[in-house]
Structure 1
Amino acid sequence: MTGSVQLGRDDAGRRYDVFHTDCPARDMVDHVTSRWGIWVLISLRSNDLRFFELRESIQGISEKMLAQTLRALVQDDLVWRTVEPTTPPQVTYGLTEFGGHVSEPLVELFDRITRRLPSPATGRPGRNGAA
């Protein structure tokens, strides 16, 4: 097995080695594909949301996990955060342009999966697949 070369953004036309443990892209992939990262990105696809609206839209997520997930996604420049200096402060989140691009295939994946599942009302398979 040959050694792995770490590539940077300045290496035009070359990609990061995401299989290398020190690759910065690997951390971002981990954040996007984390248990809650996917749901945050999908939830923010249609609207910018305040913290509690986002928490309500993702059933089962705790405030702590939402805060940690948002912090990582903001740091990765996938999500933006705005604080309005009110009492209490109003914090709003939305997708950056990059976050919008990254979330597109996640929504497509979600759509493919839900089309394959049985219809909730009838128990029959979705439009394009068999059970």
Structure 2
Amino acid sequence: MSEPSAQTASDSYRQTLSELADLVGDEGHTANARRRDRLVEQLQQQRLALQHSPEGLAAIAALLDDPRPAVRLWSAGHSLFSDEARARSTLVELRDSPGRYGLHSIIAKHTLLEYDAGRLAEDARLPGT
């Protein structure tokens, strides 16, 4: 991936993830499931484009420290195969706080369960999404 296209792909991923985080809030709930599903599909396509370059993987991992739980959840799920220690730490923190993170906590739990069981493919969507 060339530098301009890597930057464009990274910007698109970040923008879509930001829109998703705004839509689902801190606990993962939304009244607009159709919009959420469209954003999730768009995010998946952008993630697949990014995961084939070191720059793309770095762009995804850079979002692991975002203050919004949805951004941390998705970037952690998308980073498990390339930065397992940081991704796992983020997912464990979300998983272990269900009262605070609601559905994000459940998705984090199932992502870790599937990954640890060897059933999560590198290019798969997060479980339950």
Give the TM-score normalised by the residue count of structure 1: 0.29
Higher relative contact order (CA 8 A, sep 6+): 2
Q: Determine which structure has more spread, i.e. the larger CA radius of gyration.
A: 1
1 or 2, which has the higher strand percentage?
A: 1
Give the TM-score normalised by the residue count of structure 2: 0.30
1 or 2, which has the higher helix percentage?
A: 2
